[in-house]
Protein backbone atom coordinates (compact mmCIF):
# COMPACT_ATOMS: atom_id res chain seq x y z
CA UNK A 1 0.00 0.00 0.00
CA UNK A 2 1.18 3.50 -0.78
CA UNK A 3 -0.22 6.95 -0.11
CA UNK A 4 -0.72 9.56 -2.81
CA UNK A 5 -1.92 13.15 -2.61
CA UNK A 6 -4.73 14.53 -4.76
CA UNK A 7 -5.76 18.13 -5.32
CA UNK A 8 -9.41 18.90 -4.51
CA UNK A 9 -11.38 20.12 -7.52
CA UNK A 10 -12.60 23.21 -5.63
CA UNK A 11 -9.03 24.33 -4.90
CA UNK A 12 -9.47 24.03 -1.14
CA UNK A 13 -6.45 21.82 -0.58
CA UNK A 14 -5.14 18.30 -1.05
CA UNK A 15 -6.21 15.00 0.41
CA UNK A 16 -4.72 11.55 0.82
CA UNK A 17 -5.70 8.45 -1.09
CA UNK A 18 -4.28 5.01 -0.37
CA UNK A 19 -3.44 2.67 -3.24
CA UNK A 20 -3.11 -1.12 -3.28
CA UNK A 21 -1.84 -2.70 -6.49
CA UNK A 22 -2.08 -6.32 -7.63
CA UNK A 23 1.16 -8.22 -7.91
CA UNK A 24 2.28 -9.48 -11.29
CA UNK A 25 -0.22 -7.51 -13.38
CA UNK A 26 0.89 -4.85 -15.82
CA UNK A 27 -2.68 -3.74 -16.57
CA UNK A 28 -5.72 -3.82 -14.29
CA UNK A 29 -9.01 -2.11 -13.68
CA UNK A 30 -9.26 0.23 -10.69
CA UNK A 31 -11.77 0.26 -7.85
CA UNK A 32 -12.38 3.35 -5.73
CA UNK A 33 -13.16 1.96 -2.26
CA UNK A 34 -15.51 4.30 -0.40
CA UNK A 35 -15.33 4.48 3.37
CA UNK A 36 -17.96 4.02 6.03
CA UNK A 37 -18.44 6.58 8.77
CA UNK A 38 -15.31 5.18 10.46
CA UNK A 39 -12.85 6.64 7.96
CA UNK A 40 -10.24 4.71 6.00
CA UNK A 41 -9.98 2.28 8.88
CA UNK A 42 -8.44 -1.15 9.28
CA UNK A 43 -11.57 -2.94 8.00
CA UNK A 44 -11.69 -0.83 4.84
CA UNK A 45 -7.98 -1.34 4.28
CA UNK A 46 -8.50 -5.10 4.54
CA UNK A 47 -11.24 -4.85 1.93
CA UNK A 48 -8.97 -2.86 -0.38
CA UNK A 49 -6.16 -5.36 0.10
CA UNK A 50 -8.55 -8.17 -0.81
CA UNK A 51 -9.55 -6.39 -4.01
CA UNK A 52 -5.88 -6.06 -4.93
CA UNK A 53 -5.41 -9.77 -4.30
CA UNK A 54 -8.27 -10.36 -6.75
CA UNK A 55 -6.33 -8.47 -9.43
CA UNK A 56 -7.76 -4.95 -9.19
CA UNK A 57 -6.06 -1.69 -8.31
CA UNK A 58 -7.80 -0.44 -5.15
CA UNK A 59 -7.72 3.21 -4.12
CA UNK A 60 -9.36 4.56 -0.96
CA UNK A 61 -9.57 8.35 -0.53
CA UNK A 62 -9.74 10.01 2.88
CA UNK A 63 -13.16 11.67 2.51
CA UNK A 64 -13.21 13.21 5.99
CA UNK A 65 -10.06 15.26 5.31
CA UNK A 66 -11.91 18.59 5.49
CA UNK A 67 -13.12 17.69 9.00
CA UNK A 68 -10.26 15.59 10.39
CA UNK A 69 -7.59 13.96 8.23
CA UNK A 70 -6.62 10.37 8.91
CA UNK A 71 -9.70 9.11 10.75
CA UNK A 72 -9.29 5.39 11.55
CA UNK A 73 -11.79 4.14 14.13
CA UNK A 74 -13.81 0.96 14.63
CA UNK A 75 -17.33 -0.04 15.61
CA UNK A 76 -16.25 -1.55 18.91
CA UNK A 77 -16.88 1.23 21.47
CA UNK A 78 -19.59 3.76 22.23
CA UNK A 79 -17.06 6.60 22.03
CA UNK A 80 -16.05 5.56 18.52
CA UNK A 81 -19.67 5.36 17.40
CA UNK A 82 -20.31 8.82 18.83
CA UNK A 83 -17.35 10.25 16.96
CA UNK A 84 -18.32 8.46 13.73
CA UNK A 85 -21.86 9.86 13.79
CA UNK A 86 -20.58 13.33 14.61
CA UNK A 87 -18.30 13.20 11.58
CA UNK A 88 -21.05 11.86 9.34
CA UNK A 89 -23.45 14.62 10.40
CA UNK A 90 -20.88 17.30 9.55
CA UNK A 91 -19.79 15.67 6.29
CA UNK A 92 -20.72 17.43 3.04
CA UNK A 93 -21.78 14.59 0.75
CA UNK A 94 -21.74 16.72 -2.39
CA UNK A 95 -18.12 17.66 -1.68
CA UNK A 96 -17.47 13.99 -1.01
CA UNK A 97 -18.73 13.10 -4.48
CA UNK A 98 -16.46 15.78 -5.94
CA UNK A 99 -13.49 14.18 -4.16
CA UNK A 100 -14.55 10.74 -5.38
CA UNK A 101 -14.70 11.98 -8.97
CA UNK A 102 -11.20 13.41 -8.52
CA UNK A 103 -10.09 10.03 -7.17
CA UNK A 104 -11.77 8.17 -10.04
CA UNK A 105 -9.97 10.35 -12.59
CA UNK A 106 -6.66 9.83 -10.79
CA UNK A 107 -7.23 6.07 -10.66
CA UNK A 108 -7.62 5.93 -14.43
CA UNK A 109 -4.27 7.70 -14.78
CA UNK A 110 -2.32 5.33 -12.53
CA UNK A 111 0.54 3.69 -14.45
CA UNK A 112 -0.87 0.16 -14.39
CA UNK A 113 -4.55 1.05 -14.84
CA UNK A 114 -6.23 -0.09 -18.04
CA UNK A 115 -8.44 3.01 -18.06
CA UNK A 116 -11.47 1.33 -16.52
CA UNK A 117 -12.54 2.33 -13.01
CA UNK A 118 -15.51 1.76 -10.73
CA UNK A 119 -16.54 2.17 -7.12
CA UNK A 120 -17.42 -0.03 -4.16
CA UNK A 121 -18.87 1.67 -1.09
CA UNK A 122 -20.13 0.65 2.32
CA UNK A 123 -22.77 2.31 4.58
CA UNK A 124 -22.22 6.03 3.99
CA UNK A 125 -19.96 4.90 1.17
CA UNK A 126 -22.80 2.77 -0.16
CA UNK A 127 -24.88 5.90 -0.52
CA UNK A 128 -21.98 7.73 -2.14
CA UNK A 129 -21.51 4.84 -4.60
CA UNK A 130 -25.09 5.36 -5.76
CA UNK A 131 -24.41 9.08 -6.08
CA UNK A 132 -21.39 8.20 -8.21
CA UNK A 133 -23.69 6.09 -10.38
CA UNK A 134 -25.93 9.10 -10.97
CA UNK A 135 -23.32 11.89 -11.09
CA UNK A 136 -20.11 10.47 -12.58
CA UNK A 137 -18.81 8.43 -15.51
CA UNK A 138 -17.74 5.53 -13.30
CA UNK A 139 -17.79 2.29 -15.27
CA UNK A 140 -19.51 0.27 -12.52
CA UNK A 141 -20.70 0.96 -8.97
CA UNK A 142 -21.43 -1.32 -6.04
CA UNK A 143 -23.34 -0.22 -2.94
CA UNK A 144 -23.26 -2.26 0.26
CA UNK A 145 -26.10 -1.39 2.66
CA UNK A 146 -26.25 2.21 1.49
CA UNK A 147 -28.29 4.47 3.77
CA UNK A 148 -31.04 6.86 2.69
CA UNK A 149 -31.08 5.63 -0.88
CA UNK A 150 -34.79 6.44 -1.20
CA UNK A 151 -33.80 10.13 -1.04
CA UNK A 152 -31.89 9.63 -4.31
CA UNK A 153 -34.67 8.03 -6.35
CA UNK A 154 -35.19 11.18 -8.40
CA UNK A 155 -31.62 10.77 -9.69
CA UNK A 156 -31.97 7.13 -10.75
CA UNK A 157 -32.85 8.02 -14.34
CA UNK A 158 -29.31 9.40 -14.70
CA UNK A 159 -27.70 5.97 -14.19
CA UNK A 160 -25.84 4.94 -17.33
CA UNK A 161 -23.57 2.16 -16.05
CA UNK A 162 -24.07 -1.02 -14.01
CA UNK A 163 -25.06 -0.46 -10.38
CA UNK A 164 -25.30 -3.31 -7.86
CA UNK A 165 -27.15 -2.85 -4.56
CA UNK A 166 -26.54 -5.16 -1.61
CA UNK A 167 -29.39 -4.58 0.87
CA UNK A 168 -29.67 -6.01 4.39
CA UNK A 169 -33.21 -7.18 5.20
CA UNK A 170 -32.83 -6.13 8.84
CA UNK A 171 -30.91 -2.88 8.23
CA UNK A 172 -31.51 -0.79 11.34
CA UNK A 173 -30.14 2.34 9.67
CA UNK A 174 -32.37 2.15 6.57
CA UNK A 175 -36.07 1.65 7.42
CA UNK A 176 -38.02 -1.02 5.56
CA UNK A 177 -40.31 1.55 3.91
CA UNK A 178 -37.35 3.27 2.30
CA UNK A 179 -35.86 0.00 1.13
CA UNK A 180 -39.17 -0.96 -0.44
CA UNK A 181 -39.34 2.33 -2.35
CA UNK A 182 -35.84 1.78 -3.71
CA UNK A 183 -36.60 -1.78 -4.82
CA UNK A 184 -39.73 -0.59 -6.59
CA UNK A 185 -37.86 2.28 -8.24
CA UNK A 186 -35.12 0.05 -9.71
CA UNK A 187 -37.29 -2.92 -10.65
CA UNK A 188 -37.39 -1.99 -14.34
CA UNK A 189 -34.03 -0.23 -14.54
CA UNK A 190 -31.78 -2.21 -16.87
CA UNK A 191 -28.65 -0.84 -15.22
CA UNK A 192 -29.47 -1.87 -11.65
CA UNK A 193 -29.30 -5.24 -9.91
CA UNK A 194 -30.58 -5.22 -6.32
CA UNK A 195 -30.11 -8.11 -3.91
CA UNK A 196 -31.73 -8.42 -0.49
CA UNK A 197 -29.98 -10.61 2.07
CA UNK A 198 -32.51 -12.18 4.45
CA UNK A 199 -32.06 -12.05 8.20
CA UNK A 200 -28.90 -9.95 8.24
CA UNK A 201 -28.21 -6.52 9.70
CA UNK A 202 -26.47 -3.40 8.47
CA UNK A 203 -22.74 -3.96 7.85
CA UNK A 204 -23.10 -7.70 7.35
CA UNK A 205 -19.96 -7.64 5.15
CA UNK A 206 -17.76 -5.46 7.39
CA UNK A 207 -14.51 -7.31 8.03
CA UNK A 208 -14.41 -8.11 11.76
CA UNK A 209 -17.63 -6.15 12.38
CA UNK A 210 -20.14 -6.90 15.11
CA UNK A 211 -22.84 -7.86 12.56
CA UNK A 212 -20.58 -9.73 10.15
CA UNK A 213 -22.40 -12.62 8.47
CA UNK A 214 -20.04 -15.00 6.67
CA UNK A 215 -22.60 -16.52 4.32
CA UNK A 216 -24.21 -13.25 3.20
CA UNK A 217 -20.82 -11.55 2.89
CA UNK A 218 -19.43 -14.38 0.77
CA UNK A 219 -22.42 -14.32 -1.57
CA UNK A 220 -22.40 -10.52 -1.87
CA UNK A 221 -18.65 -10.33 -2.39
CA UNK A 222 -18.81 -13.00 -5.06
CA UNK A 223 -21.43 -11.04 -6.96
CA UNK A 224 -19.32 -7.91 -6.62
CA UNK A 225 -16.21 -9.61 -7.95
CA UNK A 226 -18.13 -11.06 -10.88
CA UNK A 227 -19.45 -7.64 -11.86
CA UNK A 228 -16.11 -5.87 -11.46
CA UNK A 229 -14.29 -8.56 -13.46
CA UNK A 230 -16.83 -8.32 -16.27
CA UNK A 231 -16.78 -4.53 -16.52
CA UNK A 232 -13.28 -3.47 -15.50
CA UNK A 233 -11.06 -6.15 -17.05
What does the CA dihedral 10, 45, 221, 126 come to, rounded to 10 degrees? -30
Residues 6+ apart with CB under 8 A from 74: 38, 41, 42, 43, 80
Quote the CA–CA distance of 82 and 97 in Å, as a whole number. 24
End-to-end Cα separation, the chain, in angstroms: 21
- Give the Å distances, CA to CA, from 222 to 61, 145, 148: 24, 16, 25
10 is catalytic: no
Instruction: Using DSSP bridges, classify how beta strands 2-7 and 14-20 pair: parallel, antiparallel or unpaired.
Output: antiparallel
DSSP string, 133-156: HHHS--S-EEEES-SSGGGGGGGG
Q: Rg of the Cα trace of the chain? A: 16
* Residue 171 annotated in active site: yes
Closest to 69 (Cα-Cα) out of 87, 86, 52, 85 = 87
**Catalytic member of 139, 202, 211, 213:** 202
How far is residue 18's CA from residue 10's CA, in Å, rounded to a whole number?
Answer: 21
- 130 CB neighbour count, 10 Å cutoff: 27
Active-site position among 62, 171, 201, 213: 171
Q: Would you please indicate which residues are annotated as catalytic (active-site) residues?
A: 171, 202
Amino acid sequence: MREIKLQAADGSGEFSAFVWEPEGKESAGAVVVIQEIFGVNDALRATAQNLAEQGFIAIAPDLFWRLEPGVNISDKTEAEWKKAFELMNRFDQDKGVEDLITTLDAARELPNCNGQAGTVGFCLGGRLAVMMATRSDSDANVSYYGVGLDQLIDEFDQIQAPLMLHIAEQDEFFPAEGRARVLEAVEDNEWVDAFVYPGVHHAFARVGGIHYDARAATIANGRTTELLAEILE
